[in-house]
Structure 1
Amino acid sequence: MSTRGTAAPADQLTVRRSNLSLVLQHLRDAGPRSRARIASDTGLNKATVSSLVAELIDRGLVSEGEVQRIGSVGRPGLSVELAGGTVVGVGVEVNADFVDVTALDLTHSVVLSARTPADMRALGEERALGLLVRCLREAFDALAGRGCTVVGTTVAVPALVDSRAGRVAVAPNLGWTDTPLADRLAVALAGHPVLGGAEPAVTVDNDANLGAIAEHALGVGRDADDLVYLAGEVGVGCGMVVGGTLVRGATGFTGEIGHAPLNPRLERCGCGRVGCWETQVGLGVLLQGCAHGPDDPLLDPAGDIDSRLGLVRDRAAADDERTCETLERVGIALGLGASVLVNIVNPRVLVLGGYFGLLAPLLLPYVVETLTERVVAPDGGGVEVRASELGFAAASRGGAVVALQTVFADPTRVGSPAV
């Protein structure tokens, strides 16, 4: 029997999966819409949209909201919107002095946020991985108690990362080398009830890349398709979005601006090289510069980083000479390195993240002045410097955004349609 002109079942399933994804992504990007408006916006016919929406409701991915009327005539329709609170993606950042876990639902609302201070390098790789697993299991337990389903977990690491293999190539500030992180976490997390019986989808990426994704998706860079994100932590990372797309480079190792040789004093960096930019602007440099002796609470790795930075702000407000001199020195060096990026990339927005963002009022005058002096293009190339509002949670939130992409790409991963 000829099947010419008739789509094979596999093709029909592929088309439907693609259309489910189209509708779900449209609701994410455009907000609540009536079925008629979705059909008009996407070019799908109304009957198809009604069927797709019904399936997405059955899968727990969308819900019906308020009545909407299009124009002045015709019957009003119920709006359709993303369902919040139950389907979540988890992002976790592993950094030198903390583990930060964030869970976002489909609306990108925060369902869970938890940070655990720890000296991750001092723990050594095995104990640090044990702590990471414990933090994730505690988060999974809490999410399961709220009736959530985790669709994926993305881990942010300050490292050169082979994201396709889920492997940390080298993380100087953690002391990790050639670590198969995704595989190890997948084994450790397998079978948790919050996963709904699915295999744990674990991915790994560079922390600055994920910070840039977070700023572009839900932070201060939402209106800019060309942005540079600078992450100020123990190390210094850079994520670049050009034309709305994250720049990864030929082998995925872009953004290592912290190891650019910009320090003329040639001080030794945690990576083993000398003269790296992060020896001028890394978090440890700032805290050491502001501290009054080795017992200063600024230097306590077990202390919450937000509290320690609050102490820096307090000392600056009190005109503490050592603190003010350090902030000026770091701010000028930050502007110098940022000017290199602005000259190369010409972004519309430069986002200061991590501690750079939290101390932005104290650093910005020096950064902007140095950019004005060093950027070749008129008016600084039109770049606008903005302080991140996500703080040290940017990378974990970016990880959660990435984890949720699996559902937006294929909604059939979650639940099942009513029979």
Structure 2
Amino acid sequence: MTAPLHEAHSAGPGRALPDTQQGMRRRNLARVMHTVSAEGPLSRAAVASRIGLTRAAVSTLVDELVRAGLLDELGPERPGRVGRPGSALAVSGRGPAGIGAEIGVDHLAVCAVDLRGRVRARAVRQGPNRGRAPEPVAEDLTELLRRVVAEAEREGLWAAGLAVAVPGLVASDARTVVRAPNLDWRDTDLAALFPPELPPAVDNEANFGGLAELWLGEDTPRDFLHVSAEIGIGAAVVVDGRLLRGTRGFAGELGHVPVRPDGPGCACGGRGCLEQYAGGEAVLRAAGIEPGENRVELLAERAERGDAYVRRALREAGTALGIALTGAVNLLDPGSVVLGGALAALAPWLLPSLREELDGRTAGRACPVTVSRLGSEGPLLGAAHSVVRRVLDDPGAVAGRA
């Protein structure tokens, strides 16, 4: 049975808990879990030293987390240490798991991630979703979910919650897709289409991609702009380690920033939007390639072989990206721009013109542009890890059910 997922738009440790004795206990449980997750295996004494509590207090907290199945005792620490060896603690590889799902324009995907961050089960369905009603898409995704949850349960895991990434604007209620132009969905209560035992928290795929980069990326600064692409283009703005959502939760719609105001019409109702020049279908069109499966791989393969049409299309897409990013960089002054999603695989041919445009329009504001190692996996992993993070943020909620 999947536990309901609360506070869908919380990101990272520090979610407010009541300022009471019970609230203090839950905060300290979270401090222990985050410390062991980030630095373990650690002894009780090492945990106490890092979080500034007494060994006795930490031992009581650890015992509770071990009983709840959130921490494992691995046995005595390595020999050679002075004094009595303590038992090494590690985050459990069994128990709660985060279930992440992604609705793409041409695929559905689901995965289960344990508290150690390992993907333990995964299912993918290829096929177009554009123009399909939300109900059959949700049915297909539910079938994949049940398959992944069943596989996870065979591994000794249980679903602590579900988060779903979608290519569109999501309301602050974390359930309503306000508009997804590339799916042709409007005002869809997506959460209502799932069984009650699988209540999802819904968010924009670029937001989950940005959070994945924050949590799983290598040497990622705490202030950055994450740009990802499938058919459309989205962005996530991370400031001081937190996602910038905007008043309605719609921040990051980079794909609908106009780069040529007199350009072609866009599904959003505007003209000359970035997606019309750097979105997946636009690049395929410019390269003379028919849309279909494995389009990114095909573009990369032809570019690698020196196909002049593909390289020109990617160069022009990079220029459009550079123009759109100029405004964001000048306005926000991020520590870096990170290319994710399909853009990561095409970076060798996008980056030269992108950097040229960006550097030429942001004089004195040099901003590094890097490539995500997560690539197209970012949104799915971000969704699953958002559930894992909430367990780490409030393990007392899980311990109370043990």
CA deviation after TM superposition for structure 1 residue 233, in Å: 1.3
Report which stretch shifted further, 87-96 or 16-25. 16-25
What TM-score do the two structures reach when normalised by structure 1? 0.86
Q: Match for 2:222: what amino acid? A: D
Q: How does 1:8-407 map to 2 (within 5 A)?
A: 11-65=20-74, 67-68=76-77, 73-185=82-194, 188=195, 190=197, 200-220=198-218, 222-292=219-289, 296=290, 299-300=291-292, 303=293, 305=294, 308-378=295-365, 380=366, 383-407=367-391
Are the aligned partners of 2:117 and 2:385 in contact in 1 as well (CA < 8 Å)? yes
**Which stretch of structure 1 is more off in the superposition, 96-105 or 23-32?**
23-32
Q: Deviations over 1:277-302 (max 9, x none)?
A: 1111101111222234xxx4xx12xx
Q: Which entry has the higher C-alpha Rg, 1 or 2?
A: 1
**Partners of 1:79 and 1:386 in 2: CA distance:** 37
Note the C-alpha offset of 1:219. 1.8
How much does 1:71 deviate? 10
Output one character per residue of 1:131-188: Cα deviation in whole Å (capped at 9) or x when no partner. 2222222222222232210101111111111143521111111111111112332xx1
**Distance in 2 (alpha carbons) for counterparts of 1:133 and 1:175:** 20
Matched residue type, 2:214: H
Residue identity (%): 37
The answer (yes or no) to whether the contact 1:343–1:377 under 8 Å persists in 2 is no
Q: Matched residues in 2 for 1:140 and 1:73: separation?
A: 45
CA 1:349/1:32 → structure 2, altered by over 3 Å: closer, same or farther?
A: farther
Conserved 8 A contact 1:281-1:330: yes
Tell me how large the CA RMSD over aligned residues is: 2.2
Instruction: State the shift of 1:78 in Å.
Output: 2.1
Q: CA shift at 1:66, angstroms?
A: 6.0
Change (3 A) 1:85 1:377: farther
Q: How many angstroms apart in 2 are the aligned matches of 1:118 and 1:273?
A: 28
Query: Per-residue deviation at 1:255?
Result: 0.6
1:317 positional shift: 2.3
Distance of aligned partners of 1:67 and 1:343 in 2 relative to their CA distance in 1, 3 Å threshold: farther
Tell whether the 8 Å contact from 2:179 to 2:186 is kept in structure 1 after alignment: yes
CA distance in 2, matches of 1:72, 1:63: 21
3-state SS of 1:149 partner: strand
Distance 1:391 1:338 in 2: 19
| Aligned counterparts of 1:162 and 1:290: Cα–Cα separation in 2 | 36
Measured after TM superposition, the shift of residue 315 of structure 1 is 1.4
Tell me the matched-pair count.
384
Structure-1 separation of matches of 2:386 and 2:172 = 12
Q: What SS does the corresponding residue of 1:122 show, helix, strand or coil?
A: coil
TM-fit CA distance, 1:331: 1.3
Structure 1 spans left out of the alignment, 5+ residues: 1-9, 191-199
Whether the 8 Å CA contact 1:96–1:173 is kept in 2: the answer is yes
Q: How far is 1:70 from its partner? A: 11
Give the AA of the match of 2:136. R
Which structure dedicates a bigger proportion of its chain to helix? Answer: 1
> Residues 51 and 368 from structure 1, CA distance in 2 versus in 1: closer, same or farther, beyond 3 angstroms?
same
Q: Do 1:99 and 1:115's aligned partners in 2 also have CA atoms closer than 8 Å? A: yes
Asked if the contact 1:230/1:237 (under 8 Å) is kept, the reply is yes
2:401 is the alignment partner of 1:414: no
| Residue pair 2:258, 2:324 contacting (<8 A) in 1 also | no
Amino acid at match of 1:218: L
Using the TM superposition, give the Cα deviation of residue 406 of structure 1 relative to its aligned residue in structure 2, in angstroms.
Answer: 2.7
Partner of 1:253, secondary structure, is coil
Q: Secondary structure at the match of 2:161?
A: strand
Show structure 2 runs of 5+ residues with no match.
Answer: 1-18
CA distance in 2, matches of 1:346, 1:338: 11
Contact 1:35 1:46 in 2 (8 A): yes
What one-letter code is carried by the residue in structure 1 that aligns with 2:306?
Answer: D
